[in-house]
């Protein structure tokens, strides 16, 4: 085994030994570290400086108690977290996730991914992630508000517009960001617009932030297809999820001439052979906060199936997983490939397992990895920070044009780096290497950090 392969295996082994239960974190660390071996071989001084050991250790992890009162007057206790992973490129930046599955392993995986993703955007932001095991589903607006206020009362000590700038993620949308921002302002006695992104437009959110992750995903996939002389127009697309990322991915895919036939939530999926009616999905999910199965009540030609994993058995040309981590396992990947899928674009974070990625790549399926393909959301968050610093607002068209450029640059950087390091067409390796080298070089330039 080569020296660098051995080095990577030792670092990965050390992670498992130290925190054996952190499976999601081990998985993303493995994905990144095993693909950057060519960069380690080219730069042996990284190993001498123990750069991998430094990179896999978050700069700071904060865990705290969140106590709040529900509508019945009963006291509830949740756990809150912020993982400040890496500040080489700027203030920690990354979303907050409110979901019962949230734990340190999931937030370390997301914060680690975020560090590299944020470098790809070319904007001055480091990597972080946070959240809570609180479940906003089924809670009243007042309960969500009381939870957010309690959560921010503690979080406010650890964030700031030049220190750490959270945003939304699963379970945290405009409503939650509004409550969090209100409490930050109250506790800190300061109007720091740039302390959170994904804010409402009236209090200095950016135009196009809501759409950015889904739109950016489609811009990336469009670049990837066109590079192969293919087009999105006329393709059948399978989307999972029906949240922020899924909704705007569906919107842009339809605008670009594709036919989207599925969407899902954690209970089940919809198959509409006529193409998904996005206005209805928005009414169910954004207005009524309902369940996706309600779709068939107004669209009798569509089918609803219980269980979200069945969505991958639907035939299509392009698959866009936009729900959550590990939603495409090897079995699902095999079904997609057998059904003739030509491209996969990851809207969610780590939706494909390592085995699923290997299966796609081994079968010549074009594969757009999450950290590159879904970077549009955080890129526009960084543009929101710029606008807040300028105390100025760009138009929707200006932000969208910048987003398009950023996604094109990310695709080109990943592609050219993959070629330079001897793995042409491998956008997983390309995006990991280009961002790793940048972070590593800054960390070395900054001394023992
Ligand atoms: P939302 O909360 O808006 O939507 C999440 C969607 O995924 C919902 O349809 C939800 O269904 C479904 N879902 C959540 N958990 C599961 C699960 N365990 N199994 C099956 N389905 C599930 O979140 P977003 O759209 O913001 O985020 C989706 C993904 O995209 C996440 O991986 C997130 O990290 C990633 N991402 C988001 C960005 C953003 O800007 N928002 C930026 C980059 C990445 P249900 O309603 O039933 O829970």
Q: What are the φ and ψ backbone dihedral angles of 366, each rounded to 5 degrees?
A: -65, 130
Annotated catalytic residue 129: yes
- Which residue has the least CA distance to atom 37 on ligand 1? 169
Which tens digits make up the pLDDT trace of 135-190? 999 999 999 999 999 999 999 999 999 999 999 999 999 999 999 999 999 999 99
Yes or no: say if 156 and 187 are a contact pair by the CB < 8 Å rule.
Answer: yes
Whole-number pLDDT of residue 282: 97
- Predicted pLDDT at 69: 98
3 state SS of 305: strand
For atom 34 of ligand 1, which residue has the closest CA? 349
**Closest CA to ligand 1's atom 35:** 348
Burial state string for 141-180 with b = 16 or more CB within 10 A and e = fewer than 16: eebbbbbbbbbbbbbbebbbbeebbbbbbbbbbbbbbbbb
What is the CATH class of 1-56+426-449? mainly alpha
Q: Which residues contact 229 (CB under 8 A, 6 or more apart)?
A: none
Q: How many CB atoms lie within 10 A of CB 335?
A: 17
pLDDT, one tens digit per residue, over 184-194 is 999 999 999 99
Q: What is the mean pLDDT of residues 83-99?
A: 98
Distance between CA 393 and CA 380 in Å, rounded?
Answer: 12
Take atom 30 of ligand 1 and give the residue whose Cα is closest.
Answer: 348
The CA 392 to ligand 1 mean position distance, Å, reads: 30
DSSP state of 91: S
CATH architecture assignment, domain 60-191? 3-Layer(aba) Sandwich (3.40)
* Per-residue pLDDT at 366 exceeds 80: yes
Which atom belonging to ligand 1 lies closest to the Cα atom of 350?
32
Measuring from atom 4 of ligand 1, which residue has the nearest CA? 243
Separation of alpha carbons 298 and 278, rounded Å: 13
CA distances to 243, 287, 291, 309 from 297, rounded to whole Å, are 20, 16, 12, 22
How many helices (DSSP H) and strands (DSSP E) are in the chain?
A: 18, 13
Average of per-residue pLDDT values in the chain: 97
The model's confidence at residue 449, banded by pLDDT at 50, 70 and 90, is confident
Measured by CA distance, the residue closest to atom 17 of ligand 1 is 266
Active-site annotation holder among 129, 222, 285, 415: 129
Whole-number Å distance, alpha carbon 41 to ligand 1 midpoint, is 37
- The pLDDT tens digits of the residues spanning 399-422 come to 999 999 999 999 999 999 999 999
Residue among 209, 239, 324 whose CB has most ligand 1 atoms within 8 A, to mutate: 324
Using CB atoms within 10 A of its CB, is residue 388 exposed (0-12), middle (13-18) or buried (19+)?
A: buried
Query: Tokens representing 133?
Result: 């095991």
* pLDDT at residue 1 greater than cutoff 80: no
Instruction: Show the ligand 1 pocket: residues with CB < 6 angstroms.
Output: 168-171, 173, 213, 241-246, 265-267, 308, 322-324, 347-349, 374, 377
Q: For the chain, how big is the Rg over CA atoms in Å?
A: 21
Nearest atom, ligand 1, residue 171 CA: 2
Distance 243 CA to ligand 1 centre (A): 6
Q: How far is the CA of 353 from the centre of ligand 1 (A)?
A: 17
CATH number listed for the domain at residues 211-364: 3.40.50.720
**Residue ranges covered by each domain of the chain:** 1-56+426-449, 60-191, 211-364
Cα 285 to middle of ligand 1, angstroms: 12
Token pair recorded at residue 171: 């379970």
Same fold for the pair 60-191 and 211-364: yes
Q: How far from 48 is each of 10, 173, 445, CA to CA, in Å?
A: 14, 43, 14
pLDDT digits (tens, 9 = 90+) for 26-52: 999 999 999 999 999 999 999 999 999
9 CA distance to ligand 1 middle (Å): 32
Of ligand 1's listed atoms, the one at least distance from the Cα of 213 is 40
Atom of ligand 1 nearest to the CA of 351: 32
Nearest CA to ligand 1 atom 21: 266
CA of 63 to the centre of ligand 1 (A): 23
Dist CA 384 CA 432 (whole Å) = 25
């Amino acid at each position: 085994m080569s020296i660098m392969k051995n080095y990577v295996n030792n670092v990965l082994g050390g992670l498992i030994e130290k925190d054996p239960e952190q499976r999601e974190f081990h998985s993303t660390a493995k994905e990144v570290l095993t693909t950057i071996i060519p960069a380690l071989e080219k730069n042996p001084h990284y190993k001498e400086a123990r750069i991998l050991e430094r990179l896999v250790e978050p700069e700071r992890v904060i865990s705290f108690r969140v106590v709040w009162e529900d509508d019945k007057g009963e006291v509830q206790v949740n756990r809150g977290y912020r993982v400040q992973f890496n500040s080489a490129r700027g203030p920690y930046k990354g979303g907050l996730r409110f979901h019962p599955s949230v734990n340190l392993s999931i937030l370390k995986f997301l914060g680690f991914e975020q560090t590299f993703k944020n470098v790809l955007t070319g904007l001055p932001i480091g990597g972080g992630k946070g959240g809570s095991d609180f479940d906003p589903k089924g809670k009243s607006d007042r309960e969500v508000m009381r939870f957010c206020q309690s959560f921010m009362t503690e979080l406010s000590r650890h964030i700031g517009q030049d220190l750490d700038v959270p945003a939304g993620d699963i379970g945290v949308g405009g409503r939650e960001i509004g409550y969090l921002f209100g409490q930050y302002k109250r506790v800190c006695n300061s109007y720091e617009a740039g302390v959170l992104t994904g804010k409402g437009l009236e209090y200095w959110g950016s135009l196009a932030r809501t759409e950015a992750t889904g739109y950016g995903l489609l811009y990336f996939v469009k670049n990837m297809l066109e590079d192969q002389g293919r087009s999105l127009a006329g393709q059948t697309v399978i989307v999972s999820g029906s949240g922020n990322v899924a909704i705007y991915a569906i919107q842009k895919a339809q605008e670009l001439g594709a036919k989207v036939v599925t969407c899902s939530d954690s209970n089940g999926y919809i198959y509409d052979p006529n193409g998904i009616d996005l206005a209805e999905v928005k009414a169910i999910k954004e207005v009524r906060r309902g369940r996706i199965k309600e779709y068939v009540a107004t669209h009798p030609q569509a089918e609803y199936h219980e269980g979200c994993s069945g969505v991958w058995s639907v035939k299509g040309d392009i698959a866009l997983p936009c729900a959550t981590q590990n939603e495409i396992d090897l079995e699902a990947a095999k079904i997609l490939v057998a059904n003739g899928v030509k491209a996969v674009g990851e809207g969610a974070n780590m939706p494909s397992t390592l085995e699923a990625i290997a299966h796609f790549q081994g079968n010549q399926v074009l594969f757009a990895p999450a950290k590159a393909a879904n970077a549009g959301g955080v890129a526009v968050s960084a543009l929101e920070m710029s606008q807040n610093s300028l105390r100025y607002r760009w138009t929707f068209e200006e932000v969208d044009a910048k987003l398009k450029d950023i996604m094109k640059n990310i695709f080109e950087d990943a592609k050219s780096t993959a070629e330079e390091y001897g793995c042409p067409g491998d956008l997983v390796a390309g995006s990991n290497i280009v961002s790793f080298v940048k972070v590593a070089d800054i960390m070395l330039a900054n001394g023992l950090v």
